[in-house]
Structure 1
Amino acid sequence: MDQSKITVRYAKAFFSLAKEKKQLDLLKTDVELISTLCKDSADFRLLLESPVVKTSKKIKLIQAIFSKKINALSLSFLELITTNKREAHLPGICRNILNLYRLDQGVKTAVLTTAIDMKPAIIAQITAKLEKDLNAEIELSKQVDPKLIGGFVLRVDDQQIDASIASQLRKVKETLLQSEIK
């Protein structure tokens, strides 16, 4: 079965169950913790992906890692995924669950890329302005890309505003090349 189908199906099933039990906020917190561990710990990823470690041993290790950190429903879900030998898909499942949560709660994601690191006060102002203009809660993540030279690139969902110096220089170059050809 296609990996994306697996992650989407498990994510939808778990999200629906958590919504039915009115535990969406707990689900989000738990999934963020699991997702962070998947990103930050190479050892944990190796455990999930290892064909050598037996399923029973993986379940015991997962219980040891998460038993006091996440709620029982989330722990049961992790055990189910491991029992079904789908634990290698856990990062994708977590990503899809968080996307479903944002969609359900009306939260929009935004990525602000700047040439230099911005002060938290400016980030807070940008977030407040976006929330007001879009009439939605905004999850703003920031990135630094010195290649922009200056300005910013703001991506909200599938829309992008490119107000970077690098982009403006590229446009000037294209204009000059076009006028030179004529």
Structure 2
Amino acid sequence: MTQAAINYGQVLFEMSVPKTAIEEAALVLKVVPELKHALSSPVIPKSSKHRVIDRVFPQEMKTFLKVLVERRDIDLVNDIFKAWRSRVSEEEGILDASLYYVTKPDEEQIREIKAMLCRKYDKKDVRLCLIEDASLIGGFILRVGDVETDWSLKGRLRQLEQKIMRR
């Protein structure tokens, strides 16, 4: 995610636009990818893009989307919504984390991971995204923001290889 997308996400958060309007705009752009393509096209005049925005999107999102079109940053919109969601989660005391695994953890293990993350990061709750990754061979990788904890066999083999190479 680029710094520009993070900055736009912060601006969107500070605008206090209702969540429903933002999620509706995100859904429209996700369900109709041609719309995003048209809004980013240099061939289509900006006035036409503005008319489309006025007809399709919630009132609270129109100005923001027009600015993105004006600055030719509409291609960042998915990352902008992701940055906005992260900011909302942060404000609500919810931590976003990803767990990459080979064997899916059971409910008890997931509860323990969430409890550990809540304590470590002093958060009320954890939104844990579970991602299967057979290339890990075994174990797991836990990623929170840009902090990664690698307890996979693949990671352990890589560490062993690096130790051997240094000798």
TM-score (norm 1): 0.66
Do 1:31 and 1:98's aligned partners in 2 also have CA atoms closer than 8 Å? Answer: no
1:152 aligns with 2:155: no
Secondary structure, counterpart of 1:140 in structure 2:
strand
Q: Which moved more, 1:42-51 or 1:119-128?
A: 119-128
State the alpha-carbon separation in 2 of the partners of residues 178 and 58 from structure 1. Answer: 57
1:46 aligns with 2:34: no
Q: What is the deviation of 1:66?
A: 3.0
Secondary structure, counterpart of 1:113 in structure 2:
strand
Which structure 2 residue ranges, 5 or more long, are not aligned? none
Matches within 5 A, 1:63-102: 63-67=54-58, 72-82=59-69, 85-102=72-89
Which one of 128, 151, 157 corresponds to residue 169 of structure 1?
157
Identical residues among aligned pairs (%):
23
Q: Runs of 4 or more off by more than 6 Å in structure 1?
A: none
Residue 156 and residue 85 in structure 1: after superposition, are their counterparts in 2 closer, same or farther (change >3 A)? Answer: closer
Name the residue aligned to 1:12. Answer: 10
Q: Which moved more, 1:94-103 or 1:150-159?
A: 94-103
TM-score (norm 2): 0.70
- Paired positions, count: 165
Name the residue aligned to 1:126. Answer: 113
Q: What is the deviation of 1:35?
A: 4.3
Structure with bigger gyration radius: 1
What CA RMSD, in Å, does the superposition of the two structures yield over aligned residues? 3.4
Which structure 1 residue ranges, 5 or more long, are not aligned? none
Residue 37 and residue 138 in structure 1: after superposition, are their counterparts in 2 closer, same or farther (change >3 A)? Answer: farther
